[in-house]
Chain A
Amino acid sequence: MTIREMQQVLDARFLYGEELADLDAQFVFSADMMSDVLAYCGKCSVLITGLCNPQVVRTAEMLDIVCIIFVRGKLPDENMLALARGKSIAVLATEHYMFTACGILYENGLRGGA
Protein backbone atom coordinates (compact mmCIF):
# COMPACT_ATOMS: atom_id res chain seq x y z
CA MET A 1 0.00 0.00 0.00
CA THR A 2 1.41 3.39 -0.90
CA ILE A 3 1.63 6.34 1.45
CA ARG A 4 -0.93 8.10 -0.76
CA GLU A 5 -3.38 5.21 -0.30
CA MET A 6 -2.84 5.29 3.47
CA GLN A 7 -3.51 9.02 3.48
CA GLN A 8 -6.76 8.47 1.62
CA VAL A 9 -8.18 5.60 3.68
CA LEU A 10 -7.28 7.38 6.94
CA ASP A 11 -8.69 10.76 5.85
CA ALA A 12 -5.26 12.05 6.75
CA ARG A 13 -3.42 15.21 5.81
CA PHE A 14 0.09 15.34 4.44
CA LEU A 15 2.13 17.57 6.75
CA TYR A 16 5.26 16.75 4.84
CA GLY A 17 6.27 14.44 2.02
CA GLU A 18 3.68 14.46 -0.76
CA GLU A 19 6.58 13.78 -3.08
CA LEU A 20 7.11 10.51 -1.16
CA ALA A 21 3.48 9.46 -1.65
CA ASP A 22 4.28 6.63 -4.06
CA LEU A 23 6.53 4.80 -1.60
CA ASP A 24 5.14 1.39 -0.84
CA ALA A 25 4.89 -0.20 2.62
CA GLN A 26 3.70 -3.57 3.86
CA PHE A 27 4.39 -3.54 7.59
CA VAL A 28 3.31 -1.10 10.26
CA PHE A 29 4.11 -0.64 13.95
CA SER A 30 2.03 1.39 16.38
CA ALA A 31 2.97 2.57 19.88
CA ASP A 32 3.31 5.64 22.03
CA MET A 33 6.43 4.39 23.84
CA MET A 34 9.45 4.97 21.64
CA SER A 35 11.50 2.34 23.49
CA ASP A 36 8.90 -0.23 22.45
CA VAL A 37 9.15 0.99 18.87
CA LEU A 38 12.93 0.58 19.00
CA ALA A 39 12.61 -2.89 20.52
CA TYR A 40 9.87 -4.41 18.42
CA CYS A 41 9.48 -2.46 15.17
CA GLY A 42 11.34 -5.14 13.20
CA LYS A 43 10.86 -4.77 9.45
CA CYS A 44 8.08 -2.18 9.75
CA SER A 45 8.50 0.95 7.66
CA VAL A 46 5.47 2.93 8.89
CA LEU A 47 4.98 4.18 12.46
CA ILE A 48 1.59 5.08 13.91
CA THR A 49 1.77 7.06 17.14
CA GLY A 50 -0.06 9.54 19.31
CA LEU A 51 3.16 10.78 20.90
CA CYS A 52 4.23 14.11 19.53
CA ASN A 53 7.80 15.24 20.24
CA PRO A 54 11.08 15.37 18.26
CA GLN A 55 12.16 11.97 19.56
CA VAL A 56 9.40 10.37 17.48
CA VAL A 57 11.17 11.57 14.35
CA ARG A 58 14.58 10.56 15.73
CA THR A 59 13.25 7.08 16.54
CA ALA A 60 11.82 6.79 13.03
CA GLU A 61 15.15 7.85 11.59
CA MET A 62 17.08 5.17 13.51
CA LEU A 63 14.72 2.51 12.13
CA ASP A 64 14.57 3.74 8.52
CA ILE A 65 10.84 4.39 8.87
CA VAL A 66 9.51 6.07 5.70
CA CYS A 67 6.25 7.47 7.10
CA ILE A 68 5.00 8.62 10.51
CA ILE A 69 1.23 8.78 11.01
CA PHE A 70 0.07 10.91 13.95
CA VAL A 71 -3.30 9.87 15.34
CA ARG A 72 -5.85 11.52 17.64
CA GLY A 73 -5.39 14.84 15.84
CA LYS A 74 -1.85 15.34 17.16
CA LEU A 75 0.10 17.89 15.16
CA PRO A 76 3.90 18.07 15.15
CA ASP A 77 5.50 21.50 15.42
CA GLU A 78 7.73 23.10 12.80
CA ASN A 79 10.87 21.81 14.51
CA MET A 80 9.67 18.21 14.16
CA LEU A 81 8.62 18.73 10.55
CA ALA A 82 12.03 20.21 9.75
CA LEU A 83 13.67 17.11 11.21
CA ALA A 84 11.39 14.88 9.13
CA ARG A 85 12.15 16.88 5.98
CA GLY A 86 15.87 16.52 6.64
CA LYS A 87 15.47 12.75 6.80
CA SER A 88 12.88 12.43 4.01
CA ILE A 89 10.28 10.89 6.32
CA ALA A 90 6.69 11.53 5.22
CA VAL A 91 4.38 12.84 7.95
CA LEU A 92 0.61 12.30 7.99
CA ALA A 93 -1.95 13.42 10.57
CA THR A 94 -5.37 11.86 11.09
CA GLU A 95 -8.18 12.50 13.55
CA HIS A 96 -8.73 8.75 14.01
CA TYR A 97 -7.79 7.11 17.29
CA MET A 98 -4.92 4.67 17.13
CA PHE A 99 -7.08 1.53 17.28
CA THR A 100 -9.26 2.75 14.44
CA ALA A 101 -6.32 3.84 12.28
CA CYS A 102 -4.66 0.45 12.76
CA GLY A 103 -7.91 -1.35 11.97
CA ILE A 104 -8.42 0.58 8.75
CA LEU A 105 -4.90 -0.15 7.55
CA TYR A 106 -5.20 -3.82 8.54
CA GLU A 107 -8.44 -4.09 6.61
CA ASN A 108 -6.58 -2.70 3.63
CA GLY A 109 -3.93 -5.39 3.74
CA LEU A 110 -1.17 -3.94 5.91
CA ARG A 111 0.26 -6.09 8.68
CA GLY A 112 2.39 -5.81 11.82
CA GLY A 113 5.96 -6.75 11.11
CA ALA A 114 7.26 -8.32 14.30
Chain B
Amino acid sequence: MSEQLTFTYSIDGDDFTRAGEASSSVKNKLKMLGVSSEAIRKVAIAMYEGEINMVIHADGGTIDVSVSDDDITMVLADKGPGIPDIDKAMQEGYSTAREEVRSLGFGAGMGLPNMKRFTDEMQIDTVLGEGTTITMKVHL
Protein backbone atom coordinates (compact mmCIF):
# COMPACT_ATOMS: atom_id res chain seq x y z
CA MET B 1 0.00 0.00 0.00
CA SER B 2 1.73 3.21 -1.07
CA GLU B 3 -1.00 5.83 -0.85
CA GLN B 4 -2.98 6.71 2.22
CA LEU B 5 -6.57 5.51 2.46
CA THR B 6 -9.12 7.45 4.48
CA PHE B 7 -12.58 6.45 5.66
CA THR B 8 -15.04 8.88 7.22
CA TYR B 9 -17.99 8.01 9.42
CA SER B 10 -20.79 10.11 10.87
CA ILE B 11 -21.83 8.82 14.29
CA ASP B 12 -25.49 9.08 15.26
CA GLY B 13 -25.81 10.27 18.85
CA ASP B 14 -29.40 9.19 19.30
CA ASP B 15 -29.23 5.45 18.78
CA PHE B 16 -27.20 3.42 21.25
CA THR B 17 -28.17 0.18 19.55
CA ARG B 18 -26.31 1.25 16.39
CA ALA B 19 -23.15 2.36 18.21
CA GLY B 20 -20.27 0.24 16.97
CA GLU B 21 -21.32 0.05 13.34
CA ALA B 22 -18.47 2.31 12.25
CA SER B 23 -15.91 0.29 14.22
CA SER B 24 -17.30 -2.89 12.72
CA SER B 25 -16.95 -1.43 9.22
CA VAL B 26 -13.35 -0.36 9.87
CA LYS B 27 -12.50 -3.79 11.24
CA ASN B 28 -13.77 -5.41 8.04
CA LYS B 29 -11.95 -2.95 5.80
CA LEU B 30 -8.64 -3.47 7.61
CA LYS B 31 -9.07 -7.22 7.30
CA MET B 32 -9.57 -6.86 3.55
CA LEU B 33 -6.47 -4.67 3.35
CA GLY B 34 -4.43 -7.45 4.95
CA VAL B 35 -3.56 -5.54 8.14
CA SER B 36 -2.24 -7.82 10.93
CA SER B 37 -4.86 -9.25 13.27
CA GLU B 38 -3.06 -7.76 16.28
CA ALA B 39 -3.26 -4.24 14.84
CA ILE B 40 -6.88 -4.74 13.79
CA ARG B 41 -7.79 -5.79 17.32
CA LYS B 42 -6.16 -2.70 18.83
CA VAL B 43 -7.88 -0.38 16.36
CA ALA B 44 -11.24 -2.10 16.80
CA ILE B 45 -11.19 -1.88 20.62
CA ALA B 46 -9.95 1.71 20.77
CA MET B 47 -12.32 2.98 18.09
CA TYR B 48 -15.29 1.12 19.52
CA GLU B 49 -14.72 2.65 22.97
CA GLY B 50 -14.42 6.06 21.31
CA GLU B 51 -17.57 5.53 19.30
CA ILE B 52 -19.50 4.51 22.42
CA ASN B 53 -18.17 7.58 24.26
CA MET B 54 -19.37 9.83 21.44
CA VAL B 55 -22.87 8.41 21.71
CA ILE B 56 -22.93 8.48 25.53
CA HIS B 57 -21.42 11.89 26.15
CA ALA B 58 -21.47 14.00 22.99
CA ASP B 59 -24.55 13.26 20.91
CA GLY B 60 -22.44 11.76 18.13
CA GLY B 61 -19.72 13.21 15.92
CA THR B 62 -17.42 12.17 13.13
CA ILE B 63 -14.61 9.63 12.89
CA ASP B 64 -11.87 9.71 10.25
CA VAL B 65 -9.65 6.68 9.88
CA SER B 66 -6.50 6.87 7.74
CA VAL B 67 -4.38 3.90 6.83
CA SER B 68 -0.78 4.36 5.69
CA ASP B 69 2.16 2.01 5.43
CA ASP B 70 3.34 3.01 8.91
CA ASP B 71 0.23 3.42 10.99
CA ILE B 72 -3.52 3.66 11.34
CA THR B 73 -4.77 7.03 12.56
CA MET B 74 -8.22 7.56 14.05
CA VAL B 75 -9.53 11.09 14.60
CA LEU B 76 -12.74 11.25 16.64
CA ALA B 77 -14.31 14.71 16.72
CA ASP B 78 -17.44 15.72 18.58
CA LYS B 79 -19.26 18.88 19.53
CA GLY B 80 -20.09 17.65 23.01
CA PRO B 81 -19.59 19.34 26.37
CA GLY B 82 -15.80 18.83 26.47
CA ILE B 83 -13.80 17.10 29.22
CA PRO B 84 -13.35 19.31 32.31
CA ASP B 85 -10.46 17.35 33.83
CA ILE B 86 -8.50 15.09 31.46
CA ASP B 87 -6.29 13.63 34.21
CA LYS B 88 -9.34 12.51 36.15
CA ALA B 89 -11.03 11.19 33.00
CA MET B 90 -7.96 9.06 32.30
CA GLN B 91 -8.17 7.33 35.69
CA GLU B 92 -9.61 3.85 35.50
CA GLY B 93 -12.96 3.77 37.26
CA TYR B 94 -13.68 7.50 37.03
CA SER B 95 -16.89 8.06 35.13
CA THR B 96 -19.47 10.77 34.62
CA ALA B 97 -21.83 8.47 32.71
CA ARG B 98 -25.47 8.29 33.68
CA GLU B 99 -26.83 5.25 35.50
CA GLU B 100 -28.81 4.36 32.40
CA VAL B 101 -25.55 4.04 30.44
CA ARG B 102 -24.04 1.79 33.11
CA SER B 103 -27.00 -0.52 32.84
CA LEU B 104 -26.06 -0.95 29.19
CA GLY B 105 -22.60 -2.25 30.11
CA PHE B 106 -20.55 0.92 29.68
CA GLY B 107 -19.71 3.98 31.75
CA ALA B 108 -17.45 2.06 34.14
CA GLY B 109 -14.68 4.61 33.71
CA MET B 110 -12.69 2.36 31.38
CA GLY B 111 -13.34 4.05 28.02
CA LEU B 112 -10.50 6.54 27.79
CA PRO B 113 -8.02 4.29 29.66
CA ASN B 114 -8.86 1.48 27.24
CA MET B 115 -8.34 3.76 24.27
CA LYS B 116 -4.89 4.65 25.59
CA ARG B 117 -4.07 1.05 26.49
CA PHE B 118 -4.75 -0.26 23.01
CA THR B 119 -3.11 2.50 20.96
CA ASP B 120 0.50 3.58 20.55
CA GLU B 121 -0.23 7.31 20.61
CA MET B 122 -3.21 9.25 21.88
CA GLN B 123 -3.88 12.97 22.09
CA ILE B 124 -6.94 14.67 23.55
CA ASP B 125 -7.86 18.23 22.52
CA THR B 126 -10.88 19.48 24.37
CA VAL B 127 -12.62 22.83 24.86
CA LEU B 128 -15.40 23.08 27.41
CA GLY B 129 -18.71 23.80 25.75
CA GLU B 130 -17.28 23.31 22.26
CA GLY B 131 -16.22 19.70 21.92
CA THR B 132 -13.43 17.16 21.97
CA THR B 133 -11.11 15.75 19.34
CA ILE B 134 -9.20 12.58 20.15
CA THR B 135 -6.43 11.45 17.84
CA MET B 136 -5.15 7.89 18.20
CA LYS B 137 -2.48 6.00 16.29
CA VAL B 138 -1.72 2.32 16.07
CA HIS B 139 1.70 1.60 14.54
CA LEU B 140 2.00 -1.08 11.88
Residue of B nearest to A34 (CB): B105
Main secondary structure of the interface of A (DSSP, over half): helix
Residue A54 interfacial (CB < 8 Å):
yes
Give the docked Cα–Cα distance between A110 and B24 (Å).
Answer: 28
Contacts of A36 in B (CB 8 A): 108, 110
Give the docked Cα–Cα distance between A63 and B114 (Å).
Answer: 13
Give the docked Cα–Cα distance between A33 and B114 (Å).
Answer: 13
- Most chain B CB within 10 A, of A39, A56, A79, is at A39
Q: What interface size band does chain B fall in?
A: 20 to 34
* Residues A34 and B106 in contact in the complex (CB < 8 Å), given A58-B24, A62-B27, A64-B41: yes
* Residues A39 and B24 in contact in the complex (CB < 8 Å), given A55-B16, A58-B19, A62-B44: no
Q: How far is the CB of A102 from chain B (nearest CB, A)?
A: 18
* Residues A56 and B44 in contact in the complex (CB < 8 Å), given A35-B110, A38-B49: no
Residue of B nearest to A64 (CB): B41
Is A53 touching B108 in the complex (CB atoms < 8 A)? no
Q: How far is the CB of A42 from chain B (nearest CB, A)?
A: 11
Contacts of A18 in B (CB 8 A): none
Residue B52 interfacial (CB < 8 Å):
yes
Give the docked Cα–Cα distance between A112 and B108 (Å).
Answer: 21
Is A32 touching B17 in the complex (CB atoms < 8 A)? no
Residue B81 interfacial (CB < 8 Å):
no
* Residues A39 and B19 in contact in the complex (CB < 8 Å), given A32-B105, A55-B106, A62-B27: no
Give the docked Cα–Cα distance between A38 and B17 (Å).
Answer: 18
Residue B20 interfacial (CB < 8 Å):
yes
Give the docked Cα–Cα distance between A111 and B28 (Å).
Answer: 29
Is B48 touching A58 in the complex (CB atoms < 8 A)? yes
Contacts of B37 in A (CB 8 A): 64
Chain B: residues with CB nearer than 8 A to chain A?
16-17, 19-20, 23-24, 27, 37, 41, 44-45, 48-49, 52, 104-111, 113-114, 117
- 29 A-B Cβ contacts within 8 A? A32-B105, A34-B106, A35-B105, A35-B106, A35-B111, A38-B45, A38-B49, A38-B110, A39-B113, A39-B114, A39-B117, A51-B104, A53-B104, A53-B105, A55-B20, A55-B104, A58-B20, A59-B20, A59-B48, A61-B24, A61-B44, A62-B24, A62-B27, A62-B41, A62-B44, A62-B45, A62-B48, A64-B41, A79-B17
- Pick the 5 closest A-B CB pairs, nearest first: A35-B110, A58-B20, A34-B105, A62-B44, A35-B108
